Amino acid sequence: MKTAATWPAALLFLGVSAVVGCRVADTDGITPVTQLLAFLPWLLVPTGVGLLLALFSRWWAGVVWAVALLGLLAWFIEPYGKTGEPGGPPLASFRVLTSNVEFGHATDALVDAVRREKPDLVFVQECEYTCDATLREALGTDYPHRAAQVAGGSAGSVVLSRFPLTSADGVLGTMAMPGAVADVRGHAVRLQLAHPMPPLPGGTDLWREELGDLRDFAAKHAERVENSETTQPPRSTETTGDSRTPLILAGDFNASQDHAAFRRILDTGLRDATRLTDDDRTPSWPARTTPAFGVQIDHVLLSADFSARAARFLDLPGTDHRALLTDVTLHQRR
């Protein structure tokens, strides 16, 4: 009986240890560890089962192993990333929505949500040709400004805006990641949509590379902000190459805070809006099992010029992602 209970416990501990070990080493490892890292908090379940088996079989070394794993899991479940309020006075408040509409299937539901919630900026991923046409027809009057790279399947993306937009280079990727500069009531805000490839088995190198490209974009932006002599956000959007503008990087990152590649984006100084509102462990995918089970891979990342007042996840029929709605405020840089 002791051996029969010990072996299953040991196998559970070995599997969890592989994932936790990569988290400790600040690496995403290889398949299947890369995928399992997204569900790190849920590893408490197999670890707890293993602990019960170890206690039942009086395998004391296994009990110690389980307690160590539970302690590490509890440590890493703590939210990651910077918080804090900007020091300058508020300049403009507005609403941001990001939604992956899954090959355009949730386009009609997105239109209804936009009309109901009235966001000022809308980041849409997996918006193919029919989706783009529907958004133009249904929302073109209220959102006359757009930055779009329309393509078939999951490759297309669109940014809709109530604010005037000036073109800016996006981040290159397998799926479209357009960028723009918005004139938010006289203040320039750099917008960048995120949609790197998912960490599919056999495709984790590409996933890691595209998240690295987003990290490099954010790092260059932060470096130029730090080296800038300007102490206030520019009031003109004519020079789109000026990366001194406040930044919003939003979309489906196909990564959670438990992925090292995503944490490196946060390490550039960006802040996850849901971290600021204490909603950072709220699952956004897969929508069919949330909120009971899932992981947050949809994010709105903000430069330190912003505060976030509220964040809500919206269930849209037709997509495996929940949309993320955030209320943010731009502050004057000090």
Look up the pTM and report it: 0.92
333 pLDDT higher than 90: no
pLDDT digits (tens, 9 = 90+) for 242-291: 446 899 999 999 999 999 999 999 999 999 999 999 999 999 999 999 98
Predicted local distance difference test score (pLDDT) of residue 229: 41
pLDDT digits (tens, 9 = 90+) for 117-163: 999 999 999 999 999 999 999 999 999 999 999 999 999 999 999 99
231 pLDDT higher than 70: no
Angle value at C-alpha 94, between 92 and 100, nearest 5 degrees: 145
Question: Angle, to 10 degrees, between the axis of helix 44-56 and the axis of helix 2-24?
Answer: 150
Q: What is the mean pLDDT of the chain?
A: 93
C-alpha–C-alpha distance, residues 131 and 254, integer Å: 21
C-alpha–C-alpha distance, residues 287 and 109, integer Å: 14
End-to-end CA distance of the chain: 67
222 pLDDT higher than 90: no
Q: How confident is the model at residue 223 (pLDDT cuts 50, 70, 90)?
A: confident
Q: For residue 33, which amino acid is it? A: V
